[in-house]
Structure 1
Amino acid sequence: MKTLHFYLTRQVVASLVMTVVVFTFVLLLGNILKEILSLLVSRQATLGIAVEAVGLLIPFVLAFALPMGMLTATLLTFGRFSADQELTAARAGGVSLLSLVTPILLLSLVLCGVSAYINMEIAPRCRVAYKELFFRVGANLITARLPERTYIKDFAGCIIHVGQNRQNQLKDVLIYVLEDKTNVAHIFRAPKGAMRVDQTNQTVIVDLFDVTGVLALEDGKQMFTHAGRMSVTNKLEGLAKELGKPRITDLTFIQLRDELSDLESRLSAPKSGRTNSVAELRELEKQRSQLTLPLRVQMHRQVAFSFACFGFTLIGIPLGIRVHRRETNISFAIALGLVLVYYGFLLVAQALATRPEWSPHLIVWIPNFLFQGIGAVLLWRANRGL
């Protein structure tokens, strides 16, 4: 039994190293061609800076390459194991499939721990360092630009959150007007807006259209209003500081937790002399949930994605046996299809990060439960020879 365990583990690890290297190279290639190569051609960056940028990108792409590599490795290993009749020989010797795959499942759990450390700590920090490197060489300072999915706190008396920024055309903009520089008094939302720079006065102007908002009145009541159009301004040097600030998707788990705690304290801080009805309190709670949801979604995504290796292993073992093929291209095709399904749920959750009615923080867990559930059933059937 130990010999079989060592043989299978060695095969999986060898395939894992190969596939992770391949996927890492492919994912790196896209970033190199898109960003780094253009800087080298335009002589904005030296070869040393380019090498440093690639090194900082590796942990970021490794977060995606590791689960994909584990899935492909199990498909390749158990496809060959079944095609060469080695599984049949093991069963004839009284060895069950479950006992054979135990070390592989344990290996996948270890990789879940490695993935958690990469997803929640290493990858975000390296991604931020990568962007800061580009910031230093001037790649992001060609034009002033509001960062996406970041709580921008440098505008006087307010906090701004931009859902999407395409060449300074903004979408899904939230503005929290502060009271006493700490508490959120008014909330405004605009489906679209635009950013422009006043070079004469060295200011950045954000114009918002079709604005709706919730105003906190002096008597403690709230009033819903349609403001139409509004603008906020900020000094250009103030925005330059925000350009280097990481987006929500580039924060570590601890930073996300601290940011969430800070935002919740701002939103829930009591207003002196104000009372609200039950309906108003419910509406306030709904607004707080909506405003903090992007942070919660990212926290859940980091944790849920860390378990991808286990789900991919559970479903990869029985599928490899069922495919019963030695060809590498077949295994890569199956792995690619499964990866697209898994990442599809994550993309949907990210797109719905400002829609609490869809519970996007729970959507990120669906692929884990789906792959682990189906994989467990298929593995049980394969163990029984069904």
Structure 2
Amino acid sequence: MRGNFHIKKLYGYLLKTYIPLFLMTFAICLFLVLMQFLWRYVEDMVGKGLGLNVLGEMFLYAALQLIPLALPLSILLASLMMFGNLGENLELLAIKSAGISLIKAMVPLIVLIVMICIGTFFFQNNAMPKIQPKFYSLLISIRQKSPELDIPEGVFYKEIGGYNLYVEKKDRKTGMLHGVSIYDVSNGFQNMAVIICDSAEMRMSQDKLSLVFTMHHGQQFQNFTQGTENMNFSQEFIPYARESFVTKTMTIPYDDNFNRLEESVLQESSSSNYVSKNITQLRASIDSMEQFIDSVNIADRKVMKQYTYLSFRNSYPPNKRDSIIQHAALPEKTDLDTLLASKDIQTRTSILQSAYAKAENNGNDYMFRSMTKTTTQRNINRQWIEWHTKFTVSFACFIFFFIGAPLGSIVRKGGLGTPIVISVILFIIYYILNNVGYKMARDGVWDHWIGMWFSSMILLPLGIFLTYKAMTDSVIMSTDTYTNFFRKLFFIREKRNYTIKEVVIEEPDYDAIYRSIGELTEEVTLHLQRYGRLGYKSYWTDNGYDLGLASIRNRMEHILNQLSNSRNPMVIEKAKEYPVLIKYVRPFHAGSTPAKLCMYLFPLGVIVKLISGPFERRINRDLNAILKLNNDYNEILNSLKQKMAI
């Protein structure tokens, strides 16, 4: 009962630590993705005179719409930071020393993450269909909003459709424009009009649908082509009309109002209505579009059968329509080229023109039909993508927890430094994989379920691997682990380092060492005689090789440990020359069931045996080196005995 009480207290401590950390990281991640949204669409919002209420509404919908993107990253970062802090403060070590495994300590957090995943699914299924139409309709409305009118000095202003304006100088206090040139191409370039005036005043009409220019002391030039369509003018002379004025008023259409797009436009559009549907509505829409494609395919097959290959029969009398089929069944076949060559030139031309026209008409007709089916299939892909997104985001949150928590316990680094770096790298990988799968599913290159679950299929094994390594207290983040691996891979020898000790507690017994060296020599010799050339069957079934190497390694290390206490420099230097025996690398233990199965898979077994060949040859060279060093040591020990005897 007391143990259960302590575990419950631990659960409460973990939840109190994780929840504030998760809320903080979620706010940070949401802010970051919101800034990414702002950088992406800043050009569409700046310079259009939008009110704070419109911008605030836009950012609110954008933040809600970006929650599925920020949630997995925040879970990953919070898990890394929390378990990194626990490992760095030795709290995780205390939990494990109390007999509580990592998975058992993660139980309350797993329950919390499952609840978050369920909540994310309902948010995707129920809230997003209402948020996304509001977001996209408002975004389209902002994009279509005309820019705020601010004509610069000394450059042409082209933001007013059909008009180019040039202002030489502006009076900021009075708003008067000086040195104004207006190029009116709203009626086409052939009917272009140019207005040049000394000064002008510009104001917006009351309904904000047009600009009113009041111009002073200027001239208007306009191409004079109306009513002259049948007259031939040379390219060097085009008549124009010139008008001089003291004051002239001109109205230019310019909509400065903010016209909000109705949400129903998106909901009723077949190409974008998927953003406003839940999984039930998406499934019904997908079924209806698939039935439509099936019906179009059936109709196309009927049309192809009736009008494409056998269209010539439609012009035959009913009693002769099957004569060509009966003629085709005769043993003698008519050469179509000879039949065509027997006709006169006009008949052949008529036949070929008719065939070309029919082929072109059929090609155009089926191209149009294929475009309809392609558009419908693309809409189906979009609907499937949205359907799978309801589930993939929730599952991504679950995966990222099982990546972040074990990785944090392995790295054992808290704070915002290392966790942020690792989180950003992992999230970039997830983002790239997710985008690749999304585009492949959208374009129909992959099946929709493969594309949308592609990132999860890649990251799930990583989460399982990290969880297993964290449970077994693996040192996968230790540099020594990878250093030793690459040393073995590239056969980089590890050197022994012995020095003469200032204080020796136990002097080496040279007589016992001499006998041990003789036993080691005998054991190495027997091993080389038996396993000098390891056969294919022995490689997979005989575990005596590994046992013999382990015995040789232990005996040699025991002898060298005794010799390291010697005060004789010659003995110490010779001990440094002994090789460090590597472990013979095998995929499975010799004699085990997987090893025997691999042996019977003949090509695979031979390949693995060949790969292990360099390790076997190195071990044999090291064993021969041990025999030579043993002989040298015997001579050194004999000389030491003689000196001691004298």
* TM-score normalised by structure 1 residue count: 0.65
Where 2:302 maps in the other structure, the secondary structure is coil
Contact 1:301-1:361 at 8 Å conserved across structures: no
- CA–CA distance in structure 2, aligned partners of residues 40 and 370 of structure 1: 40
2:451 to 350, 359, 363: 363
Deviation at 1:78, TM superposition (A): 0.1
Matched, 1:307 2:386: no
Structure 2 alignment gaps of length 5 or more = 1-6, 148-185, 189-260, 306-369, 475-646
Q: Give the whole-Å Cα distance in 2 for the aligned partners of 1:86 and 1:273.
A: 71
* Aligned-partner Cα distance in 1 for 2:454–2:58: 34
Kindly tell me: are residues 72 and 88 of structure 1, through their superposed partners in 2, closer, same or farther at Cα, counting changes over 3 Å? Answer: same
The Cα of 1:346 is off from its aligned counterpart by 1.6
Mapped pair 1:52 → 2:57? yes
Task: Name 1:70's counterpart in structure 2.
Answer: 75
Q: Paired residue for 1:27, among 33, 36, 42?
A: 33
Q: Is the counterpart of residue 257 in structure 1 residue 283 in structure 2?
A: yes
Deviation at 1:382, TM superposition (A): 1.8
Amino acid at match of 1:334: I
Deviation at 1:275, TM superposition (A): 8.8
Give the aligned length. Answer: 285
| Preserved CA contact (<8 Å) 2:128 2:276 | no
Paired position in structure 2 for 1:14: 20
1:266 alignment partner in structure 2? 292
Pair 273,26 (structure 1): closer, same or farther in 2 beyond 3 Å: closer
Task: Say yes or no: does 1:140 pair with 2:144.
Answer: yes
Q: Report how far residue 353 of structure 1 moved.
A: 2.8
2:131 counterpart of 1:126: yes
Once residues 357 and 41 of structure 1 are traced to their aligned partners in structure 2, the CA distance between those partners, rounded to angstroms, is 41
Q: What is the CA deviation profile of residues 292-345 of structure 1, one whole-angstrom value per residue up to 9, with x for unaligned ones?
A: 333323322332222111100011111001111123121011111111111222
CA distance in structure 1 between the partners assigned to 2:17 and 2:70 by the alignment: 18
Partners of 1:36 and 1:275 lie apart in 2 by 51
Q: Deviations over 1:261-287 (max 9, x none)?
A: 23112112354993999xxxxxx9x97
Q: CA deviation at 1:124?
A: 4.2
Instruction: Output the amino acid matched with 1:58.
Output: A
Q: Distance in 1 between matches of 2:92 and 2:421?
A: 23
Percentage identity across aligned positions?
A: 21
Counterpart CA distance in 2 for 1:273 and 1:83 is 70
1:345 aligned partner: 433
CA distance in 2, matches of 1:275, 1:346: 41
Question: In structure 1, how many angstroms separate the alpha carbons of the residues matched to 2:459 and 2:24?
Answer: 23
**Is the counterpart of residue 93 in structure 1 residue 112 in structure 2?**
no
- The answer as to 2:141 corresponding to 1:113 is no
- Residue identity opposite 1:274 in structure 2: K
Partner of 1:376: 464
Q: What is the root-mean-square deviation of aligned Cα atoms in Å?
A: 3.4
Aligned with 1:79 (options 84, 87, 104): 84
For 1:184-263, what aligned pairs fall within 5 Å after superposition? 245=269, 247=272, 250-254=275-279, 255-263=281-289
- Quickly say closer, same or farther: Cα 1:133–1:289, change in 2 above 3 A: closer
Contact 2:286–2:383 at 8 Å: present in 1 too? Answer: yes
Q: Equivalent residue of 1:333, what SS? A: helix
* Contact 1:310-1:372 at 8 Å conserved across structures: no
Paired residues of 2:407 and 2:470 also in contact (CA < 8 A): no
Greater Rg by CA = 2
Is structure 2 residue 22 aligned with structure 1 residue 3?
no
Supply the distance in 2 between the matched residues of 1:368 and 1:114 (Cα, whole angstroms): 19
Higher relative contact order (CA 8 A, sep 6+): 1
Q: Which moved more, 1:311-320 or 1:350-359?
A: 350-359
Q: CA deviation at 1:113?
A: 1.1
Q: Go from structure 1 to structure 2 and tell me whether the alpha carbon gap of 1:249 and 1:21 turns closer, same or farther (over 3 Å shift).
A: farther
The amino acid of 1:98's aligned partner reads I
1:75 and 1:375 mapped to 2: Cα distance? Answer: 13
Mapped to 1, the partners of 2:125 and 2:400 lie a distance apart of 20
Describe the shift of the 1:290–1:63 C-alpha distance in structure 2 as closer, same or farther (beyond 3 A).
closer
In structure 2, the CA distance between the partners of 1:249 and 1:348, relative to structure 1 (3 Å rule), is farther
Aligned residues of 1:53 and 1:133 also touching (Cα < 8 A): yes
Indicate if the aligned counterparts of 1:96 and 1:383 stay in contact, CA closer than 8 A.
Answer: yes
Which portions of structure 1, spanning 4 or more consecutive aligned residues, are displaced by more than 4 angstroms? Answer: 239-246, 286-291
> 1 CA distance for matches of 2:304 and 2:273?
32
Please tell me whether the aligned partners of residues 437 and 455 of structure 2 are also in contact (alpha carbons under 8 angstroms). Answer: no
Mapped partners of 1:376, 1:23: distance in 2: 25
Indicate the residue corresponding to 1:324 in structure 2.
412
Q: Name whichever of 349-358 and 264-273 sits farther off.
A: 264-273
